[in-house]
Chains A and B, each alone.
Chain A
Amino acid sequence: MTFPLRNLLLFVAMLVLILMAGFLQSWNVALSIFNMGVISAVMALGVNMQWGYAGLFNIGVMGFVALGGLGAVVVAMPPVTQAWAAGGARVLLALAVGAAAIAAAIQLWRRLPRGAVRVVALVSVLSAGFFHFRWIFDPAVAAIEAINPAASGYLGGLGLPVLLAWPIGALLAAGAAWIVGKTALGLRADYLAIATLGIAEIIIAVLKNEDWLSRGVKNVIGVPRPVPYEIDLQNDPDFVARAAGLGIDAATASSIAVKLAYAGLFISVVLVLLWLAQTALRSPWGRMMRAIRDNEVAAEAMGKDVKARHLQVFILGSAVCGLAGAMMTTLDGQLTPGTYQPLRFTFLVWVMVIVGGSGNNFGAVLGGFLIWFLWVEVEPLGQWLIVTITSGLPADSVVRLHLLDGAAHMRLLTMGLVLLLVLRFSPRGLLPER
């Protein structure tokens, strides 16, 4: 693997930035940035597979990330046995009926000849399916959500180790990607964009409203961790002694230790992913992908199944986004559907990919770190800037207060400017594809 000096320098510079945050702010902040930076890098790798390798325009990243988060809940949370007894089976039955109705509708559409009969048959199968689904589904949901709504009110999960959630979250995202891809791939880029934007909003709406599944806006908290809890470390005399030996108090030491443990886990994931992504990119498969991206017509003429290849890479990229989502929910220890916003979880990831350099996996990783760093640090920097600029004004000046209020929104402005400047003056990004 050749790694040009320029790339190395840029990564070192990135590391220096994070270290500066450590020295100037706190090591807790620096490690938080680092951990979310790794997760952002994973998201950017996923989008880069779709956009950089294949030219697919997916702006539904948020949805796939959220599905990964749901994966963490479904795998790792303990099952709520009462809720399962109250309506678990019935919910599953309802979902099966719904799926069967859709499958039947698709079969009908394929088998019947064109014409009014087909349309009528399709509509009646779908509406009959829908009303049956609701008839089975609604009471089950009511029963589940009635079980101790303040603390649970949902089915819970499978109670498995949370690390298992990472591949499962990826699988969930891949499943959704398959459905979207089947319908929207092959259409124009703008249509795929709108379709993915739509599916992301729907996924978030489901997470927000289907309390039986995800507790909705009541959030799922206390998702089990793959690393020790701070409080356990603080109660461990060995740990406290070692921390004291290093001259740090136990509370700080414990939170740093936990973050370091996460960092270790995340780094191993990102390294494996990078290796896989690089291997794939340089394999015949990767060359074919780029050939399709650069000239779809020619690739099709050479007998490449463009649609199947696109579906493949779309699913892979979305799965990686799902993986990132599961990692993030694990890091946060909670699933909060209300906090998923497209600007943060879709468009910001796009800024990462473009700024890093579309088509270059290392670029995606660098972009993930850099843009996340900016996203976090622009706010305090803006605050500091405004305080400095307005220092001549009285402390209760309306202008000053308004500007300070507004500093929180500087990050959107900055991200937009960064994106526009990179697109204009360095459209191939920091680490060009070559």
Chain B
Amino acid sequence: MEPLNALVALANFVIVPATAYGAQLALGALGVTLIYGILRFSNFAHGDTMAFGAMVTILLTWWLQAQDVTFGVLPTALLALPAGIAVTALLVLATDRVVYRFYRRQRVAPVILVIVSMGVMFVMNGIVRFVIGVDDQVFADGARFLINARDFRDLTGLDEGLAIRTTQAITLVTAIVVVAALFWFLNRTRTGKSMRAYSDNEDLALLSGIDPERVVAITWIIVAALATIAGVLYGLDKTFKPFTYFQLLLPIFAAAIVGGLGSPVGAIAGGFVIAFSEVTVTYAFKKVLGYLLPDALEPAGLMQLLSTDYKFAVSFAILVIVLLFRPTGLFRGQTS
């Protein structure tokens, strides 16, 4: 039973959390990569867009909870999510209208748009802090576990327990549904195809009569949806704190770049690569090795490669390795 216990421990502490985290990063990176593909700049306000979307959803969740509306075993936040997406979409569309469109018409260099997005980042960050403050906010309700460690032990007779939180399961299911819908949209619908065409060759898209403003608007709406969903899932799974969302920028960009900026498939792969590396490198393997190795060889230390405080270093190291050896990313992204 020892190898089985080792596997369960690994699943409990590495595979399950990393899968949920990877799905959250993938959704975030998809938003970044879509903006890059269509509007052709790296959007530094993306982390704060996620925070804004999550904040709106949290406020609505609290309101629903105050009205005694709940979603059974599922978190109430899922009920509030569509409205949260709508509000966030309105915000980013307004931002595009007031801020970005001017520069798009001027056809400025992408780096100017990046600096502009820094300004947007400040404003959004300020709004979020102004409305909800800087503290942790808890808004998860419903059943806490899909299966908890004790039940799992009783069920299987193993020493190790496997706990799967509801939020982790929801994260994965939602991410799969969202990604499937997105790919269906991009590959099967006329509008989706026109977005890919615009991303691929802007001039030819114009010659074909594709309306750039419409493509841009739809992109922002999709990005608002992706950002809000990613933000809410992350908040449900961990906790909502505005500053953490800002810090998510680094792993999200690392995921998008590792996958190849502009490539949606790459963004998903990148998200999971970053998440699994982060969790694996910062996990203390003492327990797992304890099950696998004979007693004499049992490790004395924690067998942790890096302390969890260095998780940024992991995203960064992977990013640098990919940039050095495969600058276009795992899935060839846009080069111009």
Contacts and interface: CB of A to CB of B under 8 A. Distances in A.
Interface of A: 55, 57, 130, 138, 183-184, 187, 189-191, 193-195, 197-199, 201-202, 205, 208-209, 341-343, 347, 350-351, 354, 405-406, 409-417, 419-420, 423-424, 427
Contact of B310 (A184, A209, A341): A209
Interface in B171-219: none
Contact of A209 (B120, B123, B254, B307): B307
B242 to A, nearest CB: 9
Interface stretch (B6-14, B85-93, B125-133, B150-158): B125-133
A56 B320 CA distance: 18
A205 B308 CA distance: 10
Interface stretch (B69-77, B160-168, B311-319): B311-319
A370 to B, nearest CB: 16
B312 A413 contact: no
B224 interface: no
A410 B319 contact: no
The majority secondary structure among interface residues of chain A is helix
B315 A419 contact: no
A189 B115 CA distance: 12
Contacts of B116: 420, 423
Interface of B: 41-42, 99, 102, 110-112, 114-116, 118-127, 129-131, 133-134, 243, 246-247, 249-250, 253-254, 257, 261, 301, 305, 307, 309-310, 312-313, 315-316, 319-320, 323-324, 327
B123 to A, nearest CB: 3
Given A412-B123, A423-B119, 5 more contacts: A189-B111, A189-B114, A197-B253, A202-B313, A423-B115
Given A183-B323, A184-B323, A205-B309, A138 B126 contact: no
Contact of B131 (A130, A193, A347, A406): A406
A350 B115 CA distance: 9
A411 B122 CA distance: 9
Contacts of B301: 138
Given A187-B327, A193-B42, A208 B114 contact: no
Contact of A201 (B111, B114, B261, B312): B312
A400 to B, nearest CB: 14
B62 to A, nearest CB: 14
A175 B96 CA distance: 40
Nearest to B132: A406
B120 A416 contact: yes
A193 B120 contact: no
Contact of B110 (A55, A189, A195, A427): A189
B328 to A, nearest CB: 10
A130 B313 CA distance: 15
B264 to A, nearest CB: 18
A423 B114 CA distance: 12
17 contacts: A187-B327, A191-B323, A193-B114, A194-B42, A194-B250, A194-B257, A195-B320, A198-B312, A202-B313, A205-B312, A209-B309, A343-B246, A416-B119, A416-B123, A419-B119, A420-B116, A420-B120
Nearest to A423: B116
A389 B236 CA distance: 37
A350 B327 CA distance: 27
A197 B320 CA distance: 12
Contact of A347 (B118, B127, B129): B118
A416 B95 CA distance: 13
Nearest to A419: B119
B129 A409 contact: yes
Contacts of B319: 194-195, 198
A388 to B, nearest CB: 18
A84 B253 CA distance: 41
B122 A416 contact: yes
Nearest to B134: A409
Contacts of A416: 119-126
